Amino acid sequence: GAVVSQHPSWVICKSGTSVKIECRSLDFQATTMFWYRQFPKQSLMLMATSNEGSKATYEQGVEKDKFLINHASLTLSTLTVTSAHPEDSSFYICSARDFAGGRMNEQFFGPGTRLTVL
Mark 15-34 with x for binding to another protein (rule: CB under 8 A) and - for no binding: -----------------x-x
The CA angle 63-28-92, to the nearest 5 degrees, is 30
**Least Cβ distance, residue 29 to another protein (angstroms):** 16
Residues with Cβ within 8 Å of 43's Cβ and at least 6 positions away in sequence, in order, are none
Alpha carbon 82 to its chain centroid, in Å, reads 14
Measured in degrees and rounded to the nearest 5, phi and psi for residue 13 equal: -140, 165
Q: How many CA atoms lie within 13 A of 21 on its CB side?
A: 32
**Least Cβ distance, residue 47 to another protein (angstroms):** 10
Specify the stretch interacting with another protein by CB under 8 A; choose among 11-19, 68-76, 82-90, 107-115.
107-115
Binders of another protein among residues 33 to 92 (CB under 8 A) are 34, 41-46, 49, 51, 57, 59, 91
Q: Using CB under 8 A, list all residues that contact another protein.
A: 4, 6, 32, 34, 41-46, 49, 51, 57, 59, 91, 93, 95, 105-112, 114
